[in-house]
Amino acid sequence: MRRALAWTPVALVVAVLGTSVAVAAVGPTVPVRGSAGLCLTGPAAAALEDADITMTATAPASIDPAAPTCVRFPITHGKVSLPLEDGGAMLDGGLAFVREDKKVELDGFFGHLGNPRTTAKASINGTKKKQITFLRYAVDLEHFSVGARRVAARNVRTVLADDGYAAFDKAFDGSPLRAGEDVFTVGATTVFVLPEPHEVTW
Would you give the DSSP letter of residue 1? -
For residue 142, give Cα distances in angstroms to 11, 131, 171, 193, 201: 14, 31, 37, 24, 15
Decide which of 85 and 45 is more confident. Answer: 45
Domain coordinates of the chain in residue numbers? 4-195
Tens of pLDDT along 49-108?
999 999 999 999 999 999 999 999 998 887 766 555 666 778 999 999 999 999 999 999
pLDDT of 115 above 90 = no
Q: How far apart are CA 79 and CA 12, in angstroms?
A: 13
pLDDT score, position 175: 98
Return the half-sphere exposure (C-beta side, CA atoms, 13 A cut-off) of residue 31.
8
Q: How many CB atoms lie within 10 A of CB 87?
A: 28
Which pLDDT does position 92 carry in this prediction? Answer: 94
Task: Look at residue 180 in the predicted model and tell me its pLDDT.
Answer: 97
The answer to whether the CB of 88 falls within 8 A of the CB of 112 is yes
Question: Does 5 have pLDDT greater than 80?
Answer: no
pLDDT at 81: 64
What pLDDT, on the 0 to 100 scale, is given for residue 90?
87
Task: Please state the pTM of the whole predicted model.
Answer: 0.79
Distance CA(96)–CA(136), nearest Å, equals 18
Across all residues in the chain, what is the average pLDDT?
A: 80
Residue 192 has pLDDT above 50, yes or no: yes
